[in-house]
Structure 1
């Protein structure tokens, strides 16, 4: 085993992958996912990642390392597909320092 092989660690602990899998398979998550998206959640990737993580811990397998890296890259790519809901400001509004007019009558 080389120093480079032992230096790499999975981005999460193996228990985190297992916890994600258990949460994904929970009854509450099943109902939530079915109600929200109209289908059952896909949980097998969490289980595959858990198995690859355990294989990496036991044998420092290059194949397991590659599987974990690909899976995490896919998760990051999936998250970056969505634009933020709010548009971020570049500077504060011009009147940010003025007091709020709580006593001002509301327009009908």
Structure 2
């Protein structure tokens, strides 16, 4: 009985409409054009569609397979995001002269 309570309490990480919205954005001409320009290929949008269907399946039938598929997909998505190195180095503390007013009278280099 405790297992059933835990199963009902679990929610997908996103609303099902978010998966569908991501799929529609992925399939848009603007996104395809940008993706093709950037990477030289068209994006694969199938995972967003599968996640949407798994989310709907979970809402209707509480299917264990759908739940595990969503968990795997989100785990992979988060792992891929961690592979990107930040462009800017994050500060550990503010600069020493953070409180000094900006020098607005400084001549512009032309």
TM-score above 0.5: yes
Map 1:16-95 to 2 at 5 A.
16-95=18-97
Q: Which moved further from structure 2: 63-72 or 90-99? A: 90-99
Cα gap change, 1:62 to 1:98, in 2 (>3 Å):
same
Structure 2 counterpart SS, 1:103: coil
1:4 alignment partner in structure 2: 6
TM-score, normalising length: structure 2:
0.89
Deviation at 1:99, TM superposition (A): 2.7
5+ residue gaps, structure 2, are none
Deviation at 1:89, TM superposition (A): 1.2
RMSD over aligned Cα, in angstroms?
A: 1.6
Structure 2 counterpart SS, 1:11: coil
Q: Figure out how many residues of one structure are paired with residues of the other and give that number.
A: 108
